[in-house]
Structure 1
Amino acid sequence: MGPLVLDHVPTSLLDLLNNTLILRQTAPHLPISSLCALAKTSRALRQIIRQSPQAFRYLDLSPVKSAICPIEEPLDTGGNNWRRERMDESLTEDDFYSGPLRSIFSRLHQQHVLHNVHTLVLDGLSVTAEFVKELMTEERYNVRLLSIREVKHLNQRKLQQYLRYAVRPSRPAGTPRVKGIYLFGPREAAPLVTSPSKRTASPASLGVMSSPGAQIGAEWNQKSTDALNAALARTEDRWYRSSGRMMTKRPSSDWAEILQACEGIIAFDAVLCRGPRHDPAKAYIRDGSDSSMPHPASFLRPAIATVALGPLGCESCHSCPEEPAIFGESPWTQFPLLSPVPLHWCSTRAAQRPHTLDGLCPPPLYVRCEDCLKGRWCERCHKWWDENCYGGSSTAQRTELQQTELLETLDTSGSTQLIPKQTIKIVGVRRDCFGCGHTCISCKELFIRQCKNCGNEYCREDNDASSDTMCDWCNYTSRRTVEMY
């Protein structure tokens, strides 16, 4: 009997997608339109995509055109053909703006795939508070991570009420199903592909920055700055780097109370500031007696931390009074959800875990609110000083602090002797330039110049018509005219 000869049949796409592991790793990278188009190619692929719980585990509807709410077109309360229906008087505002999303989820529910969606991204779409409430309460939804960053028509007051109701002590067991919400941070920007001619073109109002060389230099400076910050922090997550302000709009104090109520139940892409001024036990000035009086500038209401300070801590002591959050040691409530939204995992632990470049332990997390950093944070280089190293002042002026350094010297007998030396270190920030914000003395020496003609100080970076020796007014050689109106 001769040897058995096996015919090598090439592996098809059907065989690959039939593997659960491959489908789970591949499906989140495909747009929903491509996934639906693939399901229409054959009955076998349709059965795999529609019946497998891994295909629609991650659902991103932000690039879907049918999910955008056009104001000029009428829509119904969520039917399949909502563009063909006419508006009636019973249509509410929430039904109007959430009509496209309700239509999409109605079709997904009919196809029996809605229950498989665990991570839902609705960034930039028209999302109402009523629709978010349905995602958290109705049984047909099984969403764990929800991203609603920069959405439209969202009533935040209603959303706060619904969140308070969802985390009430008398809530049913296993509710709410949503464990993490991306709400405060900016959404991921789509990559822009532009030609070199369009990239170098700019309006003439930019002055010196209108030249192609200046634009290329500014672009490379920004890339080098990001690479340096990532190398110092050993991670590309902006919360663990010296990123400064993490939110374009400062959240209201009501959201801080919501985060307190949801602590341990629902995680957000923001955390509460743990500065000592938010602790009622520490926000008192004691005069040595048994009695203590509150100071009007000491205690602060709960606030959301909006400033990422980097992994080095205070510029002087490299720490902070409240101790930094260390991943794996500190409570999970001290860590925000990191961007981007995880593709293959739907747990809050996976969304909070930072990814280091060297694979070692993540750096410590230093975050504060702006009120806790008033007068002690440089908005350009992001240096900062804590309450123990510099108390700050209401006028946000720099303060000269004397520090003692011990210098080793050898006397005539050959023995080592320590001699103290007084050195002056300037800490604190001041607003020398309106465009730069509050800056430290090091940033002032780099960018602030004194005009040799008029003697006034000016910023070399914000005044485009200035030079290294003269301000923009003295450096302007054309005829000057005074505009009365």
Structure 2
Amino acid sequence: MGPLIVDASPSHTLADILSNSLVLRQTTPYLPVASIYALAATSKALHHIVNHAPDVFRYLDLSTVQSAIVPYEPLDSGGISWRAERMDEALTEDEWYSGPLLGIFSKLQRRHVLQNVQTLVLDGLSVPADLVREIIGEDRFNVRILSIRETQHLNERKLLQLLRYAVRPSRPAGTPRVKGIYFFGKREQPPLLVEHAPKKKNSRSSSPKGVMSSQGAQIGAEWNHKSSEALSTALARTTDKWYQCSGRMMPKRLSLEWAETLKACEGIIAFDAVLCRGPRHDPGRAFVSNSDSEGSGLPHPASYLSPAIATVALGPHGCEQCQSCPEDPAVFGQSPASQLPLLSPIPLHSSSLRAAQMPHTLDGSASPPLFVRCEDCLKGRWCERCHKWWDEDCYTVSTIAQRTELQQTEYMENAPLDGAAPSKQSIKVHMGLCVNNCLVGEMMAGAGSNGMWG
């Protein structure tokens, strides 16, 4: 064995390493903007890289930048002046709230780096609709993926109008440049905001009382939540919530205008939500004979529904009986992009629609199917606890399922037990719980109490 030869040449500097575009693209998305500029101040070489390399600000997250936050509210009910110094009386409210971000964009434009921004994250900031219009419509922006989740001072009606205008048939060729918008989901919390606050000593009077407030109970609840998430992830083979049995994905019911806007944007702009494709939204399949519901005063279970956004994630296994659904599940790589939602977290190293929609499986296997629906298509078919559900081909929801909860309860209590139709066993879901499993457990838990099942 010969002697060990050691390279005596000078070692590479950090500037040499970051001069490699591949290294730079993989590194900078993890650095806050303040850290990037602090790095640029350390040497002329790094300053040149930060201000001239196109990959440094390809991914720009302004949600944690202090100067992007509006420091105080300008409007009040008492007629007090907006600011101590004089202001232009022609300044509109939207211009005020856009001020911090417009200032940052002006600085980036003067440094000739604004055009390099392809993924822009503005979550939680003051983002009026007029500012969104500039980002989508003005040539100085080159944004492909835009995130405006949980933003403030954003007029949804104006946002809907500008989106419909941006995708109008007469729009200029190559517009809009934005291909994906995160709006409906929750933003990712920075690591520092998730840390627990230090506990105060001798604070018996301020601590909440009760069994569930004890440290043991809280730890147990946290472990139960983690165990549930781990099980859901293992069953779906992915950490993406849209592909798990996550249930309701949005805290509030979305307006019809949003569904119509997503329909108008199909194939042009994708969102972190998709339209429900249940058969009741298809005019060719929903209008059927309603002779069996005549005299009941209730709509036919298969009557037509207007376009609606799918708000319930049902998991990767489909209908409890046939393991599929009439509309066929969406599959990444096979289905149109309009049937697939943008997934969180936002991709750091690519600004393509494909990267934002690609589910990541734990074992590297093929992407799981996507089963999602609106709540109207799941009425009487979906267990809100275990997330089992039955499609239209496997379970015809009777008019019983469309009654109010009180009417359903009275029917269940008075229904015959001797098997005569319709029997209790003919109903699969009652008051949001599957009859065979979750409803039985609920009844047992309430046995002996003074509640409904007492």
TM-score bucket (shorter structure):
0.7 to 0.9
Measured against aligned partners, the alpha-carbon deviations of 1:34-58 in whole angstroms (never above 9, x if no partner) come to: 0011111111100011100000000
Cα separation, partners in 2 of 1:111 and 1:388, compared to 1, 3 Å: same
Task: Work out the CA distance in 2 between the residues paired with 1:48 and 1:347.
Answer: 24
CA contact (8 A) 1:450 1:457 kept: no
Amino acid at match of 2:98: S
Q: How does 1:52-451 map to 2 (within 5 A)?
A: 52-72=53-73, 86-191=86-191, 192-194=194-196, 197=199, 207-286=210-289, 298-392=303-397, 393-395=401-403, 397=408, 427-431=427-431, 438-441=432-435, 442-449=437-444
The answer on whether the counterparts of 1:61 and 1:67 sit within 8 Å (CA) in structure 2 is: yes
| Aligned-partner Cα distance in 1 for 2:252–2:425 | 34
- How far the C-alpha of 1:388 sits from its partner, in A, is 1.9
Distance 1:128 1:430 in 2: 43
Letter in 1 for 2:391: D
TM-superposed CA distance for 1:452, in Å, is 6.5
Deviation at 1:276, TM superposition (A): 0.6
**Partner of 1:127: helix, strand, or coil?**
coil
Q: 3-state DSSP class of the match of 1:171? A: coil
Greater share of residues in strand? 1
CA distance 1:85–1:452, shift in 2 (3 Å): closer
Deviations, residues 432-482 of structure 1 (Å, cap 9, x unaligned): xxxxxx222312333444666666447xxxxxxxxxxxx9xxxxxxxxxxx
2:48 equivalent to 1:47: yes
| CA distance 1:38–1:302, shift in 2 (3 Å) | same
Alignment check: 8 A CA contact 2:115 2:142 kept: yes
Q: Residue 37 of structure 2 aligns with which residue?
A: 36
In structure 2, relative to structure 1, the CA distance for the partners of 1:271 and 1:9 (3 Å cut) is: same
Distance 1:16 1:259, change over 3 A: same
Deviation per CA, 1:161-201: give whole Å up to 9, x if none.
111111111111111011100011111123312268479x9
**Unaligned runs of at least 5 residues, structure 2:** 76-82, 292-297, 416-422
What secondary structure does 1:286 align onto? coil
Deviations 1:320-351 (A, max 9, x none): 11111122221111000001111010011110
Q: Aligned to 2:39, what secondary structure does the other structure show? A: helix
AA aligned opposite 2:120: L
Larger Rg: 1
Q: C-alpha separation between the residues in 2 aligned to 1:151 and 1:117?
A: 20
AA in 2 matched with 1:333: S
Q: 1:464: which partner in 2? A: none
CA distance in 1, matches of 2:64, 2:424: 56
2:29 & 2:118 partners in 1: Cα distance?
12
Offset at 1:314?
0.9
Structure 2 CA distance for partners of 1:449 and 1:69, relative to 1, 3 Å: same
Q: Secondary structure at the match of 2:160?
A: helix
Do the aligned partners of residues 443 and 452 (structure 1) sit closer, same or farther apart at CA in structure 2, a change above 3 Å counting? closer
CA distance in 1: counterparts of 2:55 and 2:89, whole angstroms: 41
Deviation at 1:389, TM superposition (A): 2.1
TM-score by length of 2: 0.85
- Once residues 196 and 221 of structure 1 are traced to their aligned partners in structure 2, the CA distance between those partners, rounded to angstroms, is 23
Q: Which moved further from structure 2: 274-283 or 65-74?
A: 65-74
Partner of 2:14: 13
CA displacement, residues 202-243 of structure 1 (integer Å, 9 cap, x when unaligned):
976562211222111111111111011111000000000000
Give the CA deviation at 1:310: 0.1
Between the aligned partners of 1:340 and 1:455, the Cα distance in structure 2 is: 46
CA contact (8 A) 1:245 1:307 kept: yes
CA positional deviation for 1:71: 2.9
| Letter in structure 1 aligned against 2:174 | G
Q: Is the 8 A contact 2:279 2:286 kept in 1?
A: yes
Task: Tell me the TM-score normalised to structure 1 length.
Answer: 0.80
- Secondary structure in structure 2 of the residue aligned to 1:146: strand
* Structure 1 CA distance for aligned equivalents of residues 209 and 385 of structure 2: 21
The alpha carbon displacement at 1:14 in A equals 1.1
User: Which stretch shifts more, 55-64 or 387-396?
Assistant: 387-396
Count of residue correspondences? 415
Question: Residue 379 and residue 205 in structure 1: after superposition, are their counterparts in 2 closer, same or farther (change >3 A)?
Answer: farther
Query: Identity over aligned residues, as a percent?
Result: 61
Counterpart of 1:461 in structure 2 is: none
Q: For residues 117 and 106 of structure 1, what CA distance do their matches in structure 2 show? A: 13
Larger RCO: 1 or 2 (CA < 8 Å, sep 6+): 2
Q: Report if aligned partners of 1:450, 1:456 keep a CA contact under 8 Å in 2.
A: no
More divergent stretch after superposition (184-193 vs 338-347): 184-193
Unaligned runs of 5+ in 1: 75-82, 289-293, 401-422, 432-437, 459-470, 472-485
